[in-house]
Every structure is written in structure tokens, then in C-alpha cells.
A and B are shown apart, each in its own frame.
Chain A
Amino acid sequence: DSGVTQTPKHLITATGQRVTLRCSPRSGDLSVYWYQQSLDQGLQFLIQYYNGEERAKGNILERFSAQQFPDLHSELNLSSLELGDSALYFCASSVSDRGGYTGELFFGEGSRLTVL
């Protein structure tokens, strides 16, 4: 158990809908990273927050947005969903805002999104 909690574990929805994925980092970790894992794109970095502020942005679509709340949990919002958004969405956390430099990233079990 990494200590990172993601909900829901599985989600099935229809095209055009909007969903919210939630992540609670490990106790004491201030940084949250979101990754998307799909068959054709592999593990792609989406966005990072540190102590409530956006710190890095990857290949995140404009239809996707994220935020980190004062209690440090984070939410990834996916809207106007398309079939291609079906993927496993991972959240990871670390103590610092340069997680890989100061230690490992701890990953949650992922949220599997299926868009029909």
C-alpha cells in the first residue's frame, strides 16, 4: 500500500459526459502528479500541483483540468469525454515539488475510466 488513495477505482460513462477523479496523497506529501496510461500513448504526464499551486504541465487536453485543495487532495476533471479518453489515470505524490530528485514518487492504484 503506497498510501496514495484514488477514487473511484472504476468508472464507466458515455461520450460527452464529465467526470471527476479524486486523489489523496500520502500523509505529509505536498506534491501531486497526474498521469494518464493508455494503450497507444503509454504513461503520459498530465499535470503537477504542489501545495495548492500548479507547478508543471504536460500533455493535458484543454477539456481536462485539475486542482489541489487546502487539505492537499487533488481532483482531475475530465469533460466532453471522448472514446479516446478511456484510460487508467494515476495519481502520484511526493514530499517536495521535485519529487524524483528527492525520492521516489508513490503511485495510487489508479482510476480506470471507460468511455462508451
Chain B
Amino acid sequence: AQKVTQAQTEISVVEKEDVTLDCVYETRDTTYYLFWYKQPPSGELVFLIRRNSFDEQNEISGRYSWNFQKSTSSFNFTITASQVVDSAVYFCALVSGSARQLTFGSGTQLTVLP
């Protein structure tokens, strides 16, 4: 079984603040992939990153960075110097073992205030 927990339902920050979105996952499999998707107010799901279980290197893409820690089963997402356009719902997802589909967390609503 695979499970993803995003304990933060809503986060509100002021523009230019840094913000970290938490993601904790559960799987018994050694091979798995983790994802982050963004859902802006317009509703579509936008892919942000995919990470496999054998690569624990942190990744940075512009203002976005991801911290993958197998020891704590976490795959956290940090936005540096947040902007109003970052306001969206962010989903963490997992696929592992014999599963074919992604299992999504419940999402974190991020609001960046001007």
C-alpha cells in the first residue's frame, strides 16, 4: 500500500517570505517515485518534479528546491522568496511497487499575500 500525507492544509505567507511544504510518504517498496504537482486557481495540474527512491540528492530549480530524506520518509518542497503567482494548491504524490497509478496527498493550499 502507498500513502502520502500532507499535514498542512493551508499556509499563508507574505510575498518574499520563504515557505516549506511538507510531504510524508509511506511505502514498503524499495523502488518508488515521488512527485510534486501544482494546481493554480485555473484548475490544471502542473508537473513540478519527479524523484526516484535511489537519488537522495536535493534539487534546486530557480526559487524552488526539494529536500528528499529517506530516513524520515519525507519529500519537502521549499519556495524561496515567494511571489503572489505561487498561490496554488500543491500536491505531493507517490507511485511504488506494483502500483501503476500515482497516489496523491490531500494537498496544501498556499496563499501568498502581496
Binding site for B on A (CB under 8 A): 2, 33, 42-43, 45, 48, 55-56, 58, 88, 90, 92, 97-101, 103-110, 112
Contacts and interface: CB of A to CB of B under 8 A. Distances in A.
Contact of A48 (B100, B103, B104): B100
Contacts, number: 60
Contacts of B107: 42-43
A49 B105 CA distance: 23
Contact of A101 (B33, B46, B91, B106): B33
B62 interface: no
Nearest to B45: A107
Nearest to A31: B100
A88 B104 CA distance: 15
Interface residues of B, number: 22
With most chain A CB atoms within 10 A of its CB, the pick from B35, B104, B105 is B104
B95 A100 contact: yes
Contacts of A42: 104-107
A88 B33 contact: no
A109 B101 contact: no
27 contacts: A2-B44, A33-B101, A33-B102, A42-B104, A42-B106, A45-B101, A45-B103, A48-B100, A48-B101, A56-B100, A88-B43, A92-B45, A99-B95, A99-B100, A99-B102, A100-B33, A100-B35, A100-B93, A100-B100, A101-B95, A106-B47, A107-B46, A108-B44, A109-B42, A109-B43, A109-B44, A112-B43
